Amino acid sequence: MFWTVTLSLLKGFGAATELFFLTLLLGLPLGLVVAFGSMSKFQPFRRWILYRKKAPGKFLQALAQLRPISALTNIIVWIIRGTPLMLQIIIIFYGPGLWFDNNIWAFGNGRMAACTLAFVINYACYFSVIYRGGIEGVPVGQREAGEVLGMTKRQIFFKVTLLQMVKRVVPPLSNEIITLVKDTSLARIIAITELIKAGEAYMKSNGITWPLFYTAVFYLIFVGILTLLFNFVERKLSYFR
Amino acid sequence: MAILEVQNIEKHFGSTKVLTDISFSLEEGQALSIIGSSGSGKTTLLRCLNFLEKPDKGRICVRGKVLFDAGDPSTQLEGEIRKKRLHFGLVFQSFNLFPQYTALQNITLARELQARERGETKAQIEAAGRELLSQMGLSDRADHYPHQLSGGQQQRVAIARALALQPDILCFDEPTSALDPELTGEVLRVIRNLAEKKTTMIIVTHEMAFARDVADQVIFMDEGIIVEQGDPHKVIDHPKEDRTRQFLSRYTERN
């Protein structure tokens, strides 16, 4: 029995790790894009409004100050962070079929694809806020020191600010990534057999509960390895402040 | 001929005028001190010279060549600003050393990135860096990271970093204001040595005695204008203007 359970839990663990790594692989870079979006200073109406002959009214003044890319990104981040990931998975998976009569997920790995999409969007939003903190946390003086020394923008980014950002970002990012490990259990809401669902199956069919506790061991070991890894990275970056 | 000529600089931040009609010139090998209360525009003036701020009016000329003219867009091309900056060096109030590099690396980094255009080898640059460190009395700190150094030591590394690029004019923005009182001496001593070696410098400072002893010329600024300008002993010991007198009397009371 122990081996049958182990094998079936390993299968569930496989689905969970697949979701985990895909989310990281796609979500980490997408988060950077979202971060740049939310920091965008693009003000398309400013020039047009401020250089008109007539003095702008209150509404036009506000419009001149508007940063549409940043505003739109912040609204998206607010919605994604403000609603449960479980709801987002359900909407992404069932939405197309229910509202448009077009189940775009009706292929072999469709469920996993839908779930991955929901995770990537959700986690990219959380990552973006972390990145933003890291970027804005590097003092302006660092960039200015580089400029005064005649460095190019590229050189300043790669030689001066990048490593300082990475150092700032690692602790909050590791926290979020550890949460991601356990959030993979939400995939069961659209019938993906991840760890918990695999373990719970034995409770329903055989009336035994220990496989459910056994799943915890998988999570603990996985998170343990990640913790060691993050500690290593943090130690590597501890030579400066 | 003057090495630096600043003509009629004006700068606004939104609707507040920070600098009004600032003009002065500086001879090669001279030191100029700028004094004045906080908010008088001293720092903004230095930032304009280093192209960290763009003046709204006026001209900046170095060795007779126009580096910046607010009325002439061809002097404001993004691509050329980087090169123009190299005429000036700037030492910040808060040091702004790069934390992930050692003292020596802080000094050599920018010069190494420019090694090709300058036609120098890595070994030459490192040797020059070590030489600068020993000039600052920090030979034994070459491999220390900024957080392992005291404030005074950090500021001396920052001075060496600015000197490494051999600027025509070295600017100091309140170099001792962020330091504990007992650490200001070591930094002032280094600047005094530079003055004795005829380094062309502009020093924004609150150390009146130091400004008087080291500078060949003093400018007193208040509310964005130059109130009084001239020989340091005259301006600091026998000011002509009321505003200068008031400002200086506040200092003598404190000390």
ipTM of the complex: 0.92
**Is the CB of residue A198 less than 8 Å from the CB of residue A11?**
yes
Which pLDDT tens digit goes with each residue over A133-144?
999 999 999 999
Distance in angstroms (rounded) separating the CA atoms of residues A8 and A128: 36
How do residues B154-178 score in pLDDT, each as one tens digit?
A: 999 999 999 999 999 999 999 999 9
Structural tokens at position A154: 């590229």
Q: What's residue A47's pLDDT? A: 77
Burial grade of B153 (CB within 10 A; 0-12, 13-18, 19 or more): buried
pLDDT value of position A63: 85
- What does DSSP say about strands B57-62 and B65-69: parallel, antiparallel, or unpaired? antiparallel
Chain B contacts of A241, Cβ < 8 Å?
Answer: 99, 145-147
Structure tokens at A136: 């804005």
Identify whether the C-beta of residue A162 lies closer than 8 Å to the C-beta of residue A181.
Answer: no
Task: Give how far B208 is from chain A: nearest CA, Å.
Answer: 26
User: In angstroms, what separates the C-alpha of B77 from chain A's closest C-alpha?
Assistant: 14
Using alpha carbons only, how large is chain B's radius of gyration in Å?
18
Q: Distance between CA atoms of A235 and B140, rounded to whole angstroms? A: 26
pLDDT of residue A212: 92
Interface of B with A in 38-57 (CB under 8 A): 50-52
Over residues B78-99, the mean pLDDT reads: 92
Residue A43 pLDDT? 86
Beta bridge partners of B13: B16
Q: Tell if the CB–CB gap between A239 and B145 is shorter than 8 Å.
A: yes
Pairwise CA distance, residues A129 & A111, whole Å: 28
What integer is the mean pLDDT of B31-60? 93
The label of the residue with tokens 């491999």 reads B143
C-beta separation of A199 from A214 below 8 A: yes
Please name the member of A149, A155, A159 whose beta carbon is closest to the beta carbon of B165.
A149
The whole-chain average pLDDT of chain B stands at 92
In chain B, residues with a C-beta closer than 8 Å to the C-beta of A144 are: 52, 92, 96
**Alpha carbons B193 and B136: distance in angstroms, whole number:** 10
Q: How many CB pairs under 8 A join A and B?
A: 59
| Parts of chain A with a pLDDT under 70 | none
> Residue A47 is part of a domain; what is its CATH number?
1.10.3720.10
Q: Give residues 58 to 117 of B whose Cβ lies within 8 Å of A.
A: 82-83, 85-86, 88-90, 92, 94, 96-101, 109-110, 113-114
Residue B255 predicted with pLDDT over 60: no
Nearest of A10, A6, A7, A28 to residue A18 by alpha carbon: A10
- Minimal CA separation from B214 to chain A, in Å: 25
- Predicted TM-score of the model (pTM): 0.86
Which pLDDT tens digit goes with each residue over B117-135? 889 999 999 999 999 999 9
The beta-carbon neighbor of A148 closest among B85, B99, B109 is B85
User: Residue-wise over B53-69: b if at least 16 C-beta within 10 A, else e?
Assistant: bebebbbbbbeeeebbb
**Contact state of A241 with B99 under an 8 Å Cβ cutoff:** yes
Q: What is the pLDDT of residue B74?
A: 85
Is B32 within 8 Å of B215 (Cβ atoms)? Answer: yes
DSSP A55: P
Strand partners, B69: B59
What band does B254 get if pLDDT is binned at 50, 70 and 90? low
Q: What are the chain B neighbours of A160 within 8 Å (beta carbons)?
A: 98
Write out the residue range of the structural domain in which residue A20 sits.
2-240
Structure tokens, B153: 């030591």
Q: How many domains does chain A have?
A: 1
